[in-house]
Amino acid sequence: MKIIVQVCVIFAIVAIAYSASTSWGIQNATDSLILSKNVVYPAIRNTAQTHYFSIPQSYQSNNKLISAIYLQDQFINGSGPTNSLIWGGPGWTYATIQMRTQSNSGLNVTVVVYGK
């Protein structure tokens, strides 16, 4: 019985670490803020949602190279999304990020992008 509890704790720690805030790249002192936006979607019952976020956003342009992308989970209970960088990112002028929520959870993430 003690082993089952330990295994459950390990899986909980891995889930919390994997679904927490995410960052790609490193912000330097010479970088400027390209984008700061709060992305919010409500929860849908018994459904894990997948949302995509693009940089630059629709009908926008970006001529700066991205040096860092930070996604900060605004939920403090560890129910944040699993984030994946699909296209672009640091070193490019564009990026597409996939955010997949946990079942029965909404999305509340602050996206901050720096570049030069």
The pLDDT tens digits for 83-103 are: 899 998 899 999 999 989 888
Task: Count how many domains the chain has.
Answer: 1
Strand pairing report for 32-41 and 95-100 = unpaired
* Domain that includes residue 44, residue range: 2-115
Cα–Cα distance between 108 and 4 in angstroms, integer? 32
Report, as an integer, the average pLDDT of 60-87.
84
Concatenated DSSP letters of 50-89: EEEEEESPTT----SPEEEEEEEE--TTS---EEEEEEE-
pLDDT over 60 at 12, yes or no: no
pTM of the model: 0.74
CA distances to 1, 13, 75, 81 from 97, rounded to whole Å, are 40, 24, 19, 11
- State residue 53 phi and psi, 5-degree precision: -125, 125
pLDDT over 80 at 18, yes or no: no
In this prediction, residue 97 carries a pLDDT of 92
In this prediction, residue 98 carries a pLDDT of 92
Strand pairing report for 95-100 and 50-55 = antiparallel
Q: DSSP state, 102?
A: P
